[in-house]
Amino acid sequence: MTEYTGFDKIYRDIVMDIIENGTDQDPALVRAKYADGSPAPTRFIQGVNFKITPAVLLQSFQNQ
């Protein structure tokens, strides 16, 4: 079993929320491209963001 730090859990929860509840970018509006030139669409949740501060990282490493 993998041991998660506080930050790992926060990040995993955000990623899982995007996977389960996110919206795919409209293919017609994709500007990003992979190295082979194919479109690189995103998946997102409107209005959701997070900020990693040094305090969050420090606390995460101290709890290991």
Segment 5-54, tens digit of pLDDT: 777 888 889 899 999 999 999 988 999 999 999 999 999 998 877 777 78
**pLDDT score for 25:** 92
Q: What is the average per-residue pLDDT within 57-64? A: 66
**pLDDT score for 55:** 78
pTM of the predicted model as reported, rounded to 2 decimal places: 0.62
Higher pLDDT, 58 or 32: 32
Going 5 to 6 to 7 to 13, the CA torsion angle's sign is positive
State the DSSP string of the chain. Answer: -PPPPHHHHHHHHHHHHHHHH-EEPPGGG---B-TTS-B---EE-TT------HHHHHHHHHT-
Integer Cα distance of 33 and 21 in angstroms: 24
Tokens of 4: 């998660």
